[in-house]
Amino acid sequence: MPYDIDAAEDWLDDWTASVSAQAERAAELSRRVAALTGTAESRDGSIKVTVGSSGQVESLELTGQPELARRVMDVMRDAQAQLAGRVAGQVEQTVGSDTETGRAVIHSFESRFPERTGDPEPDDGR
């Protein structure tokens, strides 16, 4: 049975183009989803929350209490940064931070939950 090299090359070219096109669509989907946010508001309009594509709180608005909203966001970001640090510790203990998987996991958390550089939440003695 003779082999048709040209047909095989054509099939391989078509398959490669199909895989490449699928990869481009997947990358585009990833970019679009990463840019999405969702916003909800309480019935009385006193609370408004916006979340990013991973569900992280991007903003919090409390009508008449902007300072409280800012403090809640600050404390939440501190907790998220602590989580990123704890994840890095677990990565080090399991797969190692010098592995491709370890670097990817650490980067994912550190990019979403960076360490805050501003003033820490003041202790008001309560």
Q: Give me the percent of the chain exceeding a pLDDT of 70.
A: 91
Torsion of CA 18, 53, 87, 83, to 10 degrees: 180
Helices (H), the chain: 5-34, 66-94, 100-112
Query: What is the length of the chain?
Result: 126
pTM over 0.75: no
- pLDDT, the chain, mean: 90
Give the pLDDT confidence of 11-57 residue by residue, as tens digits. Answer: 999 999 999 999 999 999 999 998 999 999 999 999 999 999 988 99
Query: Could you tell me the pLDDT band of residue 122, with boundaries at 50, 70 and 90?
Result: low
Query: Could you tell me the pLDDT band of residue 124, with boundaries at 50, 70 and 90?
Result: low
Closest to 88 measured CA to CA, from 119, 51, 57, 114 = 114
Query: Could you tell me the pLDDT band of residue 115, with boundaries at 50, 70 and 90?
Result: confident
* pLDDT: which is higher, 115 or 75: 75
Give the pLDDT confidence of 1-15 residue by residue, as tens digits. Answer: 567 898 999 999 999
Mean pLDDT of 96-102: 96
